[in-house]
Copies of this chain bind each other. A is one copy, B any other.
Amino acid sequence: DEIKAIAREIVRKEVEKHAADGLARVDYALASGGGMVVRHSEPYIPGSGRSWFLATGRNRVHSDAQKMLQPSFGEPGHCFPLAGSKGFVEIKLRTVIVPEAVTLEHVTKSVAYDRASAPRDCRISGWLQKRDIDPSSQEEKMFLLTEFTYDLDKSNAQTFNVDPTNSGAINFVRLDFTSNHGSLTHTCIYRLRVHGYEPDTIAALAMQS
C-alpha cells in the first residue's frame, strides 16, 4: 500500500507536468499568449524553384511561421520549414521579461518520418525594443543569450539556460541556426519557447518584503 501511494504520487506529478504543456514552465513566446514571429529567413516551399520573398515581397512573414510558437501535439508536420541548413527567426515576446532559459523542440523520434531537417548548432540572442519600429534597425542592441547544439539522442524538447551574467530585460529574441542534422534542402523548427520572469513581478515582491 505504501508502494502504491509512492507510485501514485510519482505518476500524478509526471502526468501533471505533461498536461501543463509538457514542461510545466511559462512560455513568453507562445502564440496564444501573445508571442509573434516578426521576421525569418527564406521559407522552404517544396516544389517551388524560386524565392518566396522575391515572389511575395520582402519583410513578409509566412503564415506557417507562427506554428513554431504553438504546440505540436506529438505529431510530425506542425513545424515551420526554412530553406537550407542556415537561417534565422525573430520573435516578439508577449511582454518584457528577464530571460532564464529557452527550449527548442523537434518532433519525437518514435513518430518522425525523418529527422534530418532538425536544427543542430543554434544561437539565441535577445534585445529590448521600446516601440514597434522596424526590427532590422534594432539589431545592434542584441546580446547573446545562449549557444547550444540540438541533440537527436536526447528528449525532443531540450531546454538551455541563459547565462545569468549577460541577461538584461528583453522583449525580442532571435534564433540563428548554422547547421542541421543532414537535410540539404531545409530545416524545420517545431517550437521555440522562452522562459523567464517579468521584472515588475520581482519589483513587486521586493516591495512586499
Contacts and interface: CB of A to CB of B under 8 A. Distances in A.
Contacts of A71: 73, 75
- Chain A interface size, as a band, is 35 or more
Q: How many copies of this chain sit in the oligomeric assembly? A: 3
Contacts of A112: 26
A10 to B, nearest CB: 5
Contacts of A12: 14
A45 B161 CA distance: 36
B113 A21 contact: no
Contacts of A168: none
30 contacts: A3-B3, A7-B7, A7-B10, A7-B11, A8-B10, A8-B14, A10-B11, A11-B14, A11-B15, A14-B15, A17-B110, A18-B18, A18-B19, A19-B108, A20-B74, A20-B111, A21-B111, A25-B110, A25-B111, A26-B110, A26-B112, A30-B75, A30-B77, A32-B76, A33-B77, A33-B113, A71-B73, A94-B113, A95-B113, A113-B198
